[in-house]
């Protein structure tokens, strides 16, 4: 289907305008409000002990959740695409459960399981501590790597893997030298989405964290706290820091994208 030039230009303007209204204008307004009173005020807001702790706690949770979800995502994608077993449709449906369930429900479920009188009693504290926040983040980020890697596995097929096995390669050698290089960009994009989701997670973490100042406050929880305390400058500064982390993550992963070979 082809469109006339005026129609094409109109569609482009409409798409860019829609994107600007939903994304560029709000993000730009956040940065404007952040630096409205100067860089010094912003620096003072993001270097308070509470902000520094929230920053490193956010990074710590993401640093734990993202690698675990990446490993789980690759293994699950391999099972779904290469495996043949009964109930595969059920596993495929369960992977998308975090998309369908509200993060608040996820947090309440963790409270039910690991709370006082819950189903699981562990020798260390889960709720209102880092382990519970990590579990909540892992759950809400679960599908991203799987949903990016599985289509790539279907597209490349298993002919090269079968050939490697015929030549005597072990399963690990086949995965490391054949499968992983073929799916690396799907994995990279899944990691981008997982990282962005982990850093920006709010709902489930807010339930299981207890919002203890200086202990279980992430950057997203710090934004909410400052906003509720009418510290708008501090809330905007923390929001801008979150946006900057997301932009740097996207930039880093964009640089890892495959480049087209010159023809």
**Residues 6 or more apart in contact with residue 5 via CB below 8 angstroms:** none
**Rounded CA separation 217/220 (Å):** 8
Cα 181 to Cα 44, 136, 257, distances in angstroms: 45, 30, 13
Which pLDDT score is estimated for 157? 85
**Mean pLDDT of all residues belonging to the chain:** 85
Phi, psi (deg, nearest 5) at residue 88:
-65, -30
Which pLDDT score is estimated for 3? 65
Task: Give residue 75's pLDDT band: very low, low, confident or very high (50, 70, 90).
Answer: very high
Which pLDDT score is estimated for 68? 95
pLDDT in tens, 221-262: 999 998 888 888 888 888 888 888 877 877 877 776 665 444
Which pLDDT score is estimated for 260? 46
Q: Does position 142 have pLDDT exceeding 60, yes or no?
A: yes
Angle between helices 232-255 and 39-46 (to 10 degrees): 90
**Rounded CA separation 3/25 (Å):** 29
Q: Does position 56 have pLDDT exceeding 80, yes or no?
A: yes
**Rounded CA separation 253/261 (Å):** 19
- Which has more pLDDT, 71 or 185? 71
pLDDT in tens, 180-210: 888 988 898 899 889 888 998 898 899 998 8
Q: Which residue in this structure is represented by tokens 């990446």? A: 70
Q: Convert 179-208 to b/e letters by CB count within 10 Å (16 or more is b).
A: beebbebbbbbbbbbbbbbbbbbbebbbbb
Find the mean pLDDT for residues 14-19. Answer: 83
Top mean pLDDT of 76-80, 160-164, 170-174 is at 76-80
The pair of structure tokens assigned to 139 is 């759950």
- Which has more pLDDT, 130 or 3? 130
**Rounded CA separation 129/10 (Å):** 52
pLDDT > 90: percent of the chain: 22
Which pLDDT score is estimated for 262? 44
Which pLDDT score is estimated for 84? 84
Which pLDDT score is estimated for 259? 53
Which pLDDT score is estimated for 135? 93
Task: Give residue 46's pLDDT band: very low, low, confident or very high (50, 70, 90).
Answer: confident
Task: Give residue 162's pLDDT band: very low, low, confident or very high (50, 70, 90).
Answer: confident
Q: What share of the chain is helix, strand, coil (3-state, %, to 5)?
A: 75, 0, 25
Which pLDDT score is estimated for 13? 84
Which pLDDT score is estimated for 62? 92
**Residues 6 or more apart in contact with residue 151 via CB below 8 angstroms:** 186
Find the mean pLDDT for residues 39-56. Answer: 88
**Rounded CA separation 24/127 (Å):** 37
Find the mean pLDDT for residues 148-165. Answer: 87
Residue 86 three-state SS: coil
């Amino acid at each position: 289907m082809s469109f006339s030039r005026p129609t094409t230009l109109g569609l482009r303007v409409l798409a860019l305008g829609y994107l600007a209204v939903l994304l560029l204008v709000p993000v730009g307004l956040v940065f404007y409000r952040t630096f409205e009173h100067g860089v010094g005020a912003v620096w003072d807001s993001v270097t308070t002990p509470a902000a520094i702790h929230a920053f490193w706690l956010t990074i710590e949770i993401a640093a734990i959740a993202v690698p675990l979800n990446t490993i789980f995502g690759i293994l699950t994608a391999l099972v779904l695409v290469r495996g043949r077993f009964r109930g595969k449709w059920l596993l495929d449906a369960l992977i998308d459960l975090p998309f369908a369930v509200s993060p608040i429900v996820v947090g309440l479920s963790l409270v039910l399981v690991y709370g006082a009188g819950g189903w699981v009693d562990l020798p260390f504290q889960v709720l209102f501590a880092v382990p519970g926040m990590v579990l909540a983040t892992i759950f809400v980020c679960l599908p991203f790597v799987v949903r990016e890697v599985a289509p790539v596995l279907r597209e490349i097929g298993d002919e090269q893997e079968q050939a490697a096995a015929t030549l005597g390669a072990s399963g690990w050698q086949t995965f490391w030298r054949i499968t992983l290089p073929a799916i690396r960009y799907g994995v990279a994009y899944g990691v981008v989405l997982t990282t962005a989701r982990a850093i920006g997670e709010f709902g489930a973490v807010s339930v299981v964290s207890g919002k203890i100042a200086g202990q279980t406050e992430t950057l997203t929880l710090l934004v909410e706290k400052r906003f509720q305390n009418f510290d708008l400058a501090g809330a905007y500064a923390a929001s801008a820091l979150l946006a900057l982390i997301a932009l740097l993550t996207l930039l880093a992963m964009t640089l890892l994208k495959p480049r087209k070979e010159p023809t």
